[in-house]
Structures are given as structure tokens and as C-alpha cells.
Structure 1
Amino acid sequence: MLEQLDHLLSHFALYLGVAVEVLALALVPLVLLRRKEPSSTFAWILTLVFLPGLGAALFLLHGRDRVRWPARRKRAADEVLTSRLDHARRETRVDPSGAVGELDEAERCIFRVCEGLGPLVEVSHGNRVELYENGGVAQNAINAAIEGAQESAFAEYYLIRDDDTGARFRERMTQAAARGVDVRLLIDAYGCFWLRKRWFLPLRRAKAKVAQFLPLKMALTLPMNLRTHRKIVVVDGRVAFTGGLNVGDEYVRETGGKPAWRDTHVRIEGPAVASLSSVFLRDWHFMTGSEELPERFFPDTGQPGDAVVAVVPSGPDEGREAIHRVFFSAIVGARRRVWITTPYFVPDRALLVALETAARRGVEVKLLLPGHSNHRVTQQAGRSYFTELLESGVQVFEYLPGMIHSKTMLVDDEISLVGSANMDVRSFRLNFEVHTLVHDRSLAQELEAAFLRDCEASRAIELDRWRHRPWLERVGEGAARLVSPIL
């Protein structure tokens, strides 16, 4: 009896192995039909051929083109709402042409790129922008703004934790809703997967409106690549917050013996607030169907500052990879320096060549990355680019105190970029992101000072020493780079 069972199991294992290999090979034509980047296609084929079981599972979960249908839906929803947004904002929209015209040629070209990316990318002047380099300070400012809300409080987040920081944020939103403020919370269904229904009960009892972005229908069909990675808070249509900060203890204080994550956020007053409101309301309409756009959502904010701000949303719906184009334009247009901070660095060939070329023509290019990352494989993939970057003259630093989650770029003396997008394929092509491009000398000076402080707490990667790192590390980095197009 046991011999027969053993015989059956051995044959079952053999047949299963053959079936998996056949399935993996059958998926290769589907990979070729996707018409993606050659590097991505090649990586999928190699994985399917040499690791058929893992490759087939990964492709069925991640690789199938789930982008087209939701992207088409999102695009159609945006088109419906855009004309209504234009009507609602007809009295308060500011013509940006005068301010952009006053910039010098190189700066003007970067903003012209933004203006050419379509109606979803908006440029305005007369804004005031405040930088937060401390997550606790930023979260306190967000909570205080919500606490003072009189008309509306909108929030869109990829991640909210069920912890003390999340509870305090929820309390402010709940209290605002209870006193009659129009409170709307849009969360990503995947990023907030572990938030249980009971977490939302106080909000719903207070008549706050809550929605999920692309809810997960089944665990085996997770559309993991179509997430809203945006972080937006808009209060009364007059003040907005955006950047890299999610809602959780790790962003504001030490947790588990580890220091708080280093992140960067901005507070905006002025006409650009309406642009961020529009991004939120398009996403809200996409998930709820609501077309409610009272003019109170778009009050006359005046022009409280001198900053020119481009709000750049990007996602698979718009098809232009808007943030990627802005990053590329900023790098190739730089004359003196490009200082970049990003937690996840998996550049495509265009950005890699842009960085190397900028350094070779004498621009000071500095790249600040985490020394301790919460995504080890992605970190290894990023490190695989160090040698060619260093050989081109790019200076690379790894931040040592803890995880650095900032997504910033400083270009020359007056251009700053702050937002939610990482420098990787997922942010450029698969997720819904939002970045701000700001022309303001004082903000650039603050970002410069923060970057220099971060570099002081980092280790500089030296080319000679890097070339002599252990052989196994280089093999691991090469393997991670091979699969980086599908990370």
C-alpha cells in the first residue's frame, strides 16, 4: 500500500512539474504580445524559462496587462469631470503665462514641458510653499489644518496604519465631519489592505465619506500595479499638503528601536491648491461616480506668495508618463546641479543616460539613497547601477540613520521637485502619482540645506572601494537588476 502511494506521489510530482513547465512556456507568447519594454519582456521570458513555477505564478499575478481596462475607465471618468471642473473653477483659475514668461530660458523650458502634457497638468503662480523635512511636524500641521476646517477636508493616501498616528488622523477627520465639514477619505485598497472595517466606523458614524481606490475583488487577482500612491490633503480649498508622507507611526517617531523614517512633504497655499483638489476629485469621481463640484471647493485663494508651481499627476490612464518626462527635462536642462533623493532607484535607460550625461558635461549630480531599505531586492537592483554612475562622475550617497523615504530633486538654484513618485518604473508607468515642480528660491535653499544635512549622515560610495566589494554581492545585484523591470 505504501509502495503504491509512493509510486503515485512520484508520478504526480513528475506530471505536475511537466504541467508547470508547459504552462510557463505557453505564457511566453502572452509576454511577447504585451508590447512592453524589451528589457521587461526579456526578464519575464528568462524567469518563465529558468524558474517556470515561480515565473508562471508571478506573471499570472503581476504580469498580465491589467492596466488597459482600468486605465480606459479612469481616462473616461476624467474626461467626464474635466469640463465640469473647468466650469466650477472659471472664476478663480489663474493664467500662468505671465509668471512662466518671467523665468529664464532653461527654467521656462521645464515648465513648458509641463504645459505640453495635457489638461491634467496645471501651472500656476502666486503660491506659497512650505517645506517639511520632519514627518512628525508635517503630520501635526496636517492634523491642525483638518482641525480648523470649515467647509471641506479631502484626503487621499496609499497607506494609513492602524496605530497611534492613524488614530489621531482619523480623530481629526471624524471631528470635522461631526461639525458638518464635507469630509472625504480615499484610500488605496492594496496599501490599506490591513485596515479593518471597524477602523472606519467612527468616520462613517460622523457622516464622513470613505472610498477605496480600485477595491480588491479576489486575492488571486490583485491588481498590485494599479495603485494610487498619491498623498494629498486639501482643506477648505485653501491649503494643501502633498509629498512622500503616508500616515503611520514609522513616519513620525521611533518604532521598534528604529528611528523615524526621513521623509519630505510640502504645504501649499495659493492657486495650486485648486490643482491638487482637481486631482483628488477626479480620483474620487472615478471610484464613486460623484460629480458634485460646488464652487465652494474652489474659493479665491489670492496669491499669497511668489512661487510658480506645476502640479503633475501621472498614471497609466494618461499614457504620457508625465512625471518621467518632467524628471528627464529637469535633468537634461540643469546647468549647475541636480541633487536627487529617492527611496527606490530603478531607472530606465533614458534617465540613466540623462544622469550620466549631465555629470559628464560638468553638472554636479548627487544621488541620495537609503543605506537601510525596507525593500531589499529593489535596493540591490539600484546598487547595480552604481559603477556606471560613479564612472560618469555622479556622486552617490547612502543614508545611514534609518530609512529615507523622500522623493525630491533640486535643480540649480530655484527649481525643486517634491512628491510621491519614486525613480522607478512602477511609479512612472504603473501607479497613480502626483509630483510638484516649484520655482522658488527660498524653497530651493531649504531643500539644499536638508539635502546637505542628510549627506552628512550618509556614507559616500567610492568607486575604487565599490569595485572591490564581495563577489556574491555583485552577483546578487546583477540578479536583482535582471528582474528590476518587473519589480
Structure 2
Amino acid sequence: MSVLLIILYLINLLFALFLIFYRERDTSVTWAWLLVFMFIPFLGFILYLFFGLGLSKKERYEIKNQITMDFSSLDDIYDPTLQLYDDLPSDSKHAQLAYFMSNLNHTPLTHHNSVTILTDGEKKLEALLNDIKHAKKFIHIEYYAFVTDKTGMRVVDLLTEKAKEGVEVCLLYDELGSKGVKRTKFSKLIEAGGRIQTFVTSEKAILKFRVNYHDHRKIAVIDGKISYVGGFNIADQYVETTKKFGYWRDTHLRIDGPATSILELRFLSDWNVSVPDDKKLIGKLDYLYHEKPNEKATTDIQIIASGPHDEKQQIKLAFTKLITSAKKRIWIQTPYFIPDDTILDALKIAKQSGVDVRIMIPNKPDHPFIYRATQYFAQVIMKHDVDVFIYEGGFLHSKVLIMDDEVSIVGSANQDIRSYKLNFEASAVMYDKSINDTLSHYFTEDLKQSKELTQQMIDDMSIWLKFKQKTARLFSPIM
């Protein structure tokens, strides 16, 4: 037994040395893994294999290369007479912010978009089904969770009908996120000509030791004209009031306009890197937005996406820029509040600069351990005079940031380290006062169903609960 313990200790030591001297990681991530190795030696070794190895250099290169090739298609759709794509916002006071976002993701700002904000799961589903029903050319769908339950099968059955009509149907989903999916439920869709694919990092994820990297995006593109992005997935729990979660409160966007091209190119990159060469989607120009500008559509949009293939952490930098640029307010809704030091410091600085900083989180977990970390960081930021509100009208899954009176961001990214570094995410930065006003209205209405976190509430927490919160926070860099 003593020999076995010595062997396990040596394996632990070797992995610790490997982690410190070979892998380039943040100091906080390194310390978090060292804690894992220290407190749970053998299990820590197993956990590191599945959650800590990261993407290989080859996988990173392939993903980056595919994105570069697909986004080169943008050069072919620039038509200065249409004024759909450039780096200049309609209002010059946002020029620096728009320029930063363009450099961050190497994608243009898009003009003449029409945006519908959807906060109810059933209404979002019905809108999506209606657009799918009227599709003429293609339907491209990408979801973190696409479950073949009652809701999922409504979508699958309609996709099958459209495939039979000759419409190109491609469905990409994250296998790990889509728990309960039954591949056999796609058989009729496949027979009708539809194509189904799991995302590259989730396919055989366990065998390839990469279960930590999720395609967390929620994108749908119909005929290159209409697109969706936001927080709703495809499953019953997102459209029904359930015993576990109650009402599901989320935010999603329906976009009619050239921002659809950017989301389509993101889908094409994710699809093409996930399939063999003979199944890649080509003829990219046919998938992009070619409509004449709608003068009544006035929303400027920049799509920001990021993933673990790129160390720039574009989503986090976008959040940081918005927070540090605020003059009046930063209102945030997020189901998981586990920020890194950069975001924490930005929020503290904003508050100390006189900015109205408010953060809204749910009152219940869908992932208990992660929720304990959220509770911990909510207390940390509250002690720096930031107002924290706990939503009690159901489960808050909305991922929204409202800056001042004209800028806002909605998408799939949470305010947590996983969204900053580990997940593949997509969010829309919008420059539009009416959109900002609408999101502010929803936020204000949600406040009516929320309670503010107070010091008395913290003092009333049990010692055991506080212990769980502080323990969860130690592992927050690798959650």
C-alpha cells in the first residue's frame, strides 16, 4: 500500500511540475489545479486529464485557419454604395468603441439592422419556427443544448418538412451540452437530406480528454437574411414553467439585416472545422446578406465571438471596454457571476467613478457548485458598493450588459471565467438608444421581482453555506 501511495504521489508531483513549467497558464489557474492535485491526489490526476489539458496545437491551428478562410469572404460582400459594412458607427461618439470592437474580432460593424428582443421562451420558439417555415434556401442552426424532447422534436419535424422541400438544413450542436439527445430522433431528417453534426470539441470528447470546451453559442440563420443569437437553447425547460426552475427568464435577439452575415460566417467556420473535407459548406457568398439597406432599420451591430482556440479572450475584452467606457451606468444580468480580476477591477473602478453599477443574478442554481461561487463573488462586489439584485421570478438565464443610454450587448456569454476562456461564445454589441431603452425596461421590470443583497442577508447565512461559497471560489479559475 505504501508503494502505491508513493507512486501516486510521484505522478501527482510530475503533473504539478508539468503544469507549472510546461503549460502557459494564468497564475490563478495554475494555483487552482495545484489545489486539486494537493487535496484529491489520484482523482485530481483524472480530473486534469479530462478538464485541464486543453486543445492541442493542431486543433487550435485548424480552428483559427478555418475562421481566417471563412471570414476572408467578407471582402467580397463589401459594397460601399450599400453602406452595410464598415468600421464607423452611425453616431460618431461611438467611433472609438466601434473601432476597438472591429480590431478585436476582425469583423466589421453592420448597419441597417432590425432587431426584435425576445424574453419569453415560447415566443422565441414560435418566432424561430415561423422563420424556419418560410425558409426558401437554407436553414443553419447551432446550439449548445438541442434536446430531442417535445420542444426539440417540434423543431426537428419542421426541419424535416423543409428538407423534403429541398431547403438545405444543417444542424450543429454541442454533444455534452445536449444531454438526453437521441440521435435516432434525427433519422427522418437525415433521410430527407438534412445534415446533423456535433461540434468538433464535443465529438468523442471523453475519449479525447477535452470535456471542458463547449460550443456555447446559440445561433440560427435562415436564408442569409434572418438570424438569432442569445441565451435560449432548444429544450422543454426553456419554454415551459418547470418545477425545478419555475419560469425561465432569458434574452434572445431576432436580427433582420447584415449582422446575419457575420453570424452565418461564424456558423460556417464552426461547421467546417467539425466535418471532413468532403462535407464542408462551400459557396460562402450564396449564404451572405445581399439585401438593399432598409432605411427604417437603424440598429448598428457588431458580432463579437471568442473561444479557447484564441488566447485574446475577445468576449472578456469587449465586456471590459464597455465597463470602463461607461459614463452613467452599467447594468448586468447574468446567471453565473464568477468574474476574473480584470472584470472585478473594472466594475470597482466604474462604481468609484460615479457610474451606476447594478448586477442581477438568479436566486437558485442550475449548477449548485457554480452557484456557490456566484454567491461568493456577489458578496465581494457588493462590499465595493455595487448594487446586487437576486431575481426571484423564476430562473434568470439572461446574458445582458447595458451601458449608458445607447450601447448594449446580448448573447451567449456569461460573466464568468468559463465564458471568457473556455467556451465558444457569440454576442451582439448594439448601438441603438431604442434597443437600450427596451432592455432597460425589462431590467427595471425584473427589479420588481428581485431583492437586493444586503449585509444582513450575508450575516444570516450559515457557516456551512459560507464554507461552500469560499471553497467554490478557490476553484473558480477552472470551473
Measure how far apart 1:402 and its partner are: 2.4
Select which of 416, 422, 433 maps to 1:430: 422
Measure how far apart 1:481 and its partner are: 0.5
Structure 1 runs (4+) deviating above 4 angstroms are: 88-93
For 1:311-349, what per-residue CA distance to the aligned partner results, in whole angstroms no more than 9, with x for missing partners?
111112233211111100000011111110111111000
| Corresponding residue of 1:50 | 39
Contact 1:239-1:270 at 8 Å conserved across structures: yes
Contact 1:410-1:417 at 8 Å conserved across structures: yes
Q: Distance in 2 between matches of 1:237 and 1:152?
A: 8
Measure how far apart 1:223 and its partner are: 1.4
The answer to whether 1:21 aligns with 2:9 is yes
Measure how far apart 1:15 and its partner are: 4.4
| Corresponding residue of 2:374 | 382
Q: What's the TM-score once normalised by structure 1's chain length? A: 0.92
| Structure 2 counterparts to residues 265-276 of structure 1, below 5 A | 265-276=252-263
* Paired amino acid for 2:238: Y
| Corresponding residue of 2:157 | 171
More moved, 370-379 vs 255-264: 255-264
* Paired amino acid for 1:317: H
Select which of 210, 223, 233 maps to 1:223: 210
> Which structure 1 segments of 5+ residues have no match?
1-10
| Structure 2 counterparts to residues 395-410 of structure 1, below 5 A | 395-410=387-402
The answer to whether 1:460 aligns with 2:452 is yes
Q: Distance in 2 between matches of 1:470 and 1:185?
A: 46
| Corresponding residue of 1:298 | 288
For 1:157-184, what per-residue CA distance to the aligned partner results, in whole angstroms no more than 9, with x for missing partners?
1111121100101112111111011111
> Percent same amino acid at aligned positions?
30
Measure how far apart 1:145 and its partner are: 0.3
The answer to whether 1:307 aligns with 2:299 is yes
Q: Distance in 2 between matches of 1:301 and 1:245?
A: 27
Q: Distance in 2 between matches of 1:224 and 1:425?
A: 16
Q: Distance in 2 between matches of 1:397 and 1:479?
A: 23
The answer to whether 1:113 aligns with 2:100 is yes
Q: Distance in 2 between matches of 1:205 and 1:15?
A: 57
Contact 1:269-1:301 at 8 Å conserved across structures: no
Q: Distance in 2 between matches of 1:355 and 1:109?
A: 20
Contact 1:313-1:323 at 8 Å conserved across structures: yes
Measure how far apart 1:118 and its partner are: 4.0
Contact 1:186-1:212 at 8 Å conserved across structures: yes
Q: Distance in 2 between matches of 1:465 and 1:211?
A: 47
| Structure 2 counterparts to residues 44-443 of structure 1, below 5 A | 44-66=33-55, 68-87=57-76, 94-100=84-90, 102-104=91-93, 107-119=94-106, 121-192=107-178, 194-214=180-200, 215-217=202-204, 219-256=206-243, 258-288=245-275, 289=277, 290-293=280-283, 295-304=285-294, 305-443=297-435
* Paired amino acid for 1:198: T
Contact 1:89-1:295 at 8 Å conserved across structures: no
For 1:174-200, what per-residue CA distance to the aligned partner results, in whole angstroms no more than 9, with x for missing partners?
111110111111111222253222111
Contact 1:128-1:270 at 8 Å conserved across structures: yes
Measure how far apart 1:227 and its partner are: 1.8
Measure how far apart 1:201 and its partner are: 0.5
* Paired amino acid for 2:462: P
Q: Tell me, what secondary structure is at the counterpart of 1:339?
A: strand
For 1:427-461, what per-residue CA distance to the aligned partner results, in whole angstroms no more than 9, with x for missing partners?
11111110000011111111111111212111210
Q: Distance in 1 between matches of 2:455 and 2:92?
A: 38
Label 1:67 to 1:285 Cα distance change in 2 as closer, same or farther (>3 A). same
Q: Distance in 2 between matches of 1:193 and 1:391?
A: 38
Label 1:385 to 1:334 Cα distance change in 2 as closer, same or farther (>3 A). same
Q: Distance in 1 between matches of 2:246 and 2:458?
A: 27
For 1:215-271, what per-residue CA distance to the aligned partner results, in whole angstroms no more than 9, with x for missing partners?
533635341222211111111111111101100010001234642321110001111
Label 1:88 to 1:444 Cα distance change in 2 as closer, same or farther (>3 A). closer
User: Between Structure 1 and Structure 2, how many residues are aligned?
Assistant: 471
> In terms of Rg, which structure is larger?
1
Q: Distance in 2 between matches of 1:273 and 1:181?
A: 18
Q: What's the TM-score once normalised by structure 2's chain length? A: 0.93
Measure how far apart 1:206 and its partner are: 0.9
Label 1:42 to 1:357 Cα distance change in 2 as closer, same or farther (>3 A). same
| Corresponding residue of 1:6 | none
